[in-house]
Amino acid sequence: MSAPLDVERLYDEHAQALFAFLLNFTRHEADTRDLLQELFVKLAKRPELLDGVRDERAFLLRLAHNLAIDLIRRRGTRDKHYEQLAGDSIAVFVPAHEPDEGAFRKALSTALGELPPDQRAVVHLKLWEGLTFEQIAELLGIPLNTAASRYRYGLDKLRERLRPLYDEIK
Amino acid sequence: MNPDDLEKHLRSQPMRQVPPQWRTDILSAARQASPSEHAPRTTQHVPRSPSLFSTLLWPHPTAWAGLAAIWLLILGFNLATGPSAPLVAKRASPTAPQVLMAFQEQERLLSELLGPRETPVAERPKPAQPRPRSELRHRLLMA
């Protein structure tokens, strides 16, 4: 028998991280909202999913990733322009007050959108969730080496794309 | 360019905040979907200690209540008119010796009408004469 689920606590502690991951992964705000709601509804329906879970954040991120993959697969058959949407510039970061920093964030957001989704997921989890490659590999269900190489390829692309802007800011 | 510096700079970029109005909608949807939210609704209809009797009667409680009321009326009527009925029955019912005497009288009349009992004696079947088994063979030999 599982303990009653405290959905509010889960939301307050993890919604921000889940939102950022889903927004970066889907590059679509409405989809992010739908997925976030789907995730919490799923947890509310089946609170036993959290039984024995040691790292709530990692578990919820994995759940979010799986839901997002399902959504992309569903879309893939009938919505061919979904990948194009990912390339569009979407505000993933907080708008900056300084113009240079604002331009950098905008370029970073665009560059992230140009990464393949699997690289983008690894880069996000490494940079903005601070997970280790081992944790990322477990979360995404991929080998450790794959997680590391995806990060390296992704970061190389970002570096190449952002170098001029970064040199100006520095 | 030092890659570590870029990584640090990337990490320092603050992600957008989740829109505050989403919280109410998402938590509301989650609460509606939770099993504990549905539980009180079901317990309103299901008795706390369900027995076989209540389970059988539950589908049409009004009809069963009406039937029970009718039976109570019949029982009440029966109790109200009850004491006279057994007396009538007692008066009407003959005592055991009377019944026995009547039965013996009827048996006597019947025996008079039918006459004395004769038990038919069945004739004994005549013992069959054993035929010589070799009769046919004997005739054939003689011929």
Given a cut of 70, is residue B133 above it in pLDDT?
no
- State which of A88, A123, A155 marks the end of a domain: A88
Total count of domains within chain B: 1
Q: Nearest residue of A to residue B28 by CA position?
A: A41
Alpha carbon distance A115, A124 (integer Å) = 11
Q: Does B34 touch chain A (CB under 8 A)?
A: yes
ipTM of this complex prediction, to 2 decimal places:
0.84
Contacts by B19-25 with C-beta closer than 8 Å and gap 24+? Answer: B19/A33, B22/A15, B22/A33, B22/A36, B22/A37, B23/A11, B23/A15, B25/A37
Domain shared by A4 and A77, yes or no: yes
Q: Mean pLDDT over residues A153-162, rounded?
A: 94
Q: Do residue B18 and residue A19 have CB atoms under 8 angstroms apart? A: yes
Residues of B in Cβ contact (< 8 Å) with A33:
19, 22, 26
| Tens-place pLDDT, residues B34-49 | 876 655 444 444 444 4
Alpha carbon distance A71, B66 (integer Å) = 56
Is B119 inside any structural domain?
no
| Tens-place pLDDT, residues A12-54 | 999 999 999 999 999 999 999 999 999 999 999 999 999 889 9
Is B15 inside any structural domain?
no
- State which of A70, A88, A106 marks the end of a domain: A88
pLDDT at residue B34, rounded to an integer: 80
CATH number of the domain to which A169 belongs: 1.10.10.10
pLDDT at residue A64, rounded to an integer: 97
**Angle, to 10 degrees, between the axis of helix A133-140 and the axis of helix A56-78?**
50
Domain shared by A170 and A104, yes or no: yes
Domain shared by A23 and A66, yes or no: yes
Domain shared by A51 and A7, yes or no: yes
Domain shared by A9 and A53, yes or no: yes
CATH number of the domain to which A21 belongs: 1.10.1740
Best A1, A22, A25, A33 residue to mutate vs chain B (most B CBs within 10 Å): A33
Is B16 inside any structural domain?
no
Is B89 inside any structural domain?
yes
Residues of A in Cβ contact (< 8 Å) with B26:
11, 15, 33, 36-37, 40
**Angle, to 10 degrees, between the axis of helix A29-45 and the axis of helix A56-78?**
120
Total count of domains within chain A: 2
Given a cut of 70, is residue B3 above it in pLDDT?
no
Sign of CA dihedral B18, B23, B26, B31: positive
Domain shared by A113 and A68, yes or no: no
- Please indicate whether residue A78 or residue A91 has the higher confidence score (pLDDT): A91
- The parent domain of residue B99 ranges over 62-111
Residues of B in Cβ contact (< 8 Å) with A20:
15-16, 18
- The parent domain of residue A76 ranges over 1-88
Count of CB atoms situated within 10 Å of the CB of A122? 29
Residue A168's nearest CA partner among A109, A107, A95 is A107
**Window A:18-57, CB contacts with B under 8 Å:** 19-20, 23-24, 33, 36-37, 40-41, 43-45, 47
Domain shared by A84 and A2, yes or no: yes
Residues of A in Cβ contact (< 8 Å) with B8:
none
- State which of A29, A63, A88 marks the end of a domain: A88
Domain shared by A1 and A84, yes or no: yes
Q: Does A5 touch chain B (CB under 8 A)?
A: yes
